[in-house]
Chain A
Amino acid sequence: VQLVESGGGLVQPGGSLRLSCAASGFGLSSYRMNWVRQAPGKGLEWVAQISITSSTIYYADSVKGRFTISRDNTKNSLFLHVNSLRAEDTAVYYCARREEYSRGGSYYYGMDVWGRGTTVIVSS
């Protein structure tokens, strides 16, 4: 079971990138998926979540209108289109799987599988 991100790089302010996350060892089509980022030396920041069928998508306010999460279940892949990039978007971007746990009739959630991340640097 593995997630592998790619697509990061150095980009000028205002530029764009497409980040990818390839899943292996499990079917992406069974899970909601997330992007989480971490600026250098800082904590974790949730970025976006997409439902299994792409019908429900959520974004952090900090990226709303600039980032677009999408998925291709036939290719077992998750994407994050990042546009209008700013210096403060510089971070390692992780994709993470949402697992659902059932205990005593209740359901719980956690991000149980993470990729190693891809680095985005926004600088002129």
Chain B
Amino acid sequence: EIVLTQSPGTLSLSPGERATLSCRASQTVSTTYLTWYQQKPGQAPRLLVFGASNRAAGIPDRFSGSGSGTDFTLTISRLEPEDFAVYYCQHYGSSPPYSFGQGTKLEIK
């Protein structure tokens, strides 16, 4: 089973700043299978990125995903007030389990 570890647990930044969120896998993960989600309080998760670096429909271009092997990153270039939320990476591969990371909370500083 692939274990995904996200860091930091909490990231405190101000609007306009750049956010860098990390997702590290316990073993090599194909970029094909790495996804990122955003979740706001009381809401369902929203797909942001699939295939490590492809933005889902309607996702602003300030969100970008990168990485390969065991290290993946979600970058938000200039934070907007609506970006403060919890972010999860997931290994959504060819066979289960389709594990999620524990999440990174992005909060307003």
Contact across chains for B45 and A108 when beta carbons are under 8 A apart: no
Contact across chains for B56 and A114 when beta carbons are under 8 A apart: no
Contact across chains for B51 and A103 when beta carbons are under 8 A apart: yes
B3 CB to nearest chain A CB (Å): 13
B84 CB to nearest chain A CB (Å): 17
Within 8 A of A (CB), among B33-69: 33, 35, 37, 39, 43-47, 49-51, 54, 56-57
Scoring B33, B50, B98 by chain A CB atoms within 10 A of each residue's CB, the highest score goes to: B98
> Which residue of chain A is the closest to B52 with respect to CB atoms?
A108
Contact across chains for B100 and A43 when beta carbons are under 8 A apart: yes
How far is B51's CA from A109's CA once the two chains are assembled, in angstroms? 7
B54 CB to nearest chain A CB (Å): 6
Question: A46-B99, A103-B51, A107-B32 are known contacts. Are A117 and B44 too (CB-CB below 8 A)?
Answer: yes
Q: Report the tally of A-B residue pairs with Cβ distances under 8 A.
A: 74
How far is B90's CA from A116's CA once the two chains are assembled, in angstroms? 19
Contact across chains for B98 and A46 when beta carbons are under 8 A apart: yes
Residues of A with C-beta under 8 A to B57: 112
Return the contact of B45 from the options A44, A59, A106, A107 (Cβ within 8 A). A44
> Which residue of chain A is the closest to B34 with respect to CB atoms?
A108
B6 CB to nearest chain A CB (Å): 9
How far is B92's CA from A117's CA once the two chains are assembled, in angstroms? 20
Number of residues on chain B facing chain A (CB within 8 A): 28
B102 touches A (CB below 8 Å): yes
How far is B46's CA from A114's CA once the two chains are assembled, in angstroms? 8
Return the contact of A110 from the options B47, B101, B102 (Cβ within 8 A). B47
Residues of B with C-beta under 8 A to A99: 47
A20 touches B (CB below 8 Å): no
B 1-32 binary contact with A (CB < 8 Å = 1; else 0): 00000000000000000000000000000001
Residues of A with C-beta under 8 A to B50: 101, 108-110
Q: Can you list 6 residue pairs at the A/B interface with Cβ under 8 Å?
A: A46-B96, A46-B98, A101-B51, A108-B33, A111-B47, A114-B45
Q: Which residues from chain A sit less than 8 Å from chain B, CB to CB?
A: 34, 36, 43-46, 49, 58-61, 94, 96, 98-99, 101, 103, 106-112, 114-117
List 3 tightest A-B contacts by C-beta distance, closest first. A108-B51, A110-B50, A114-B44
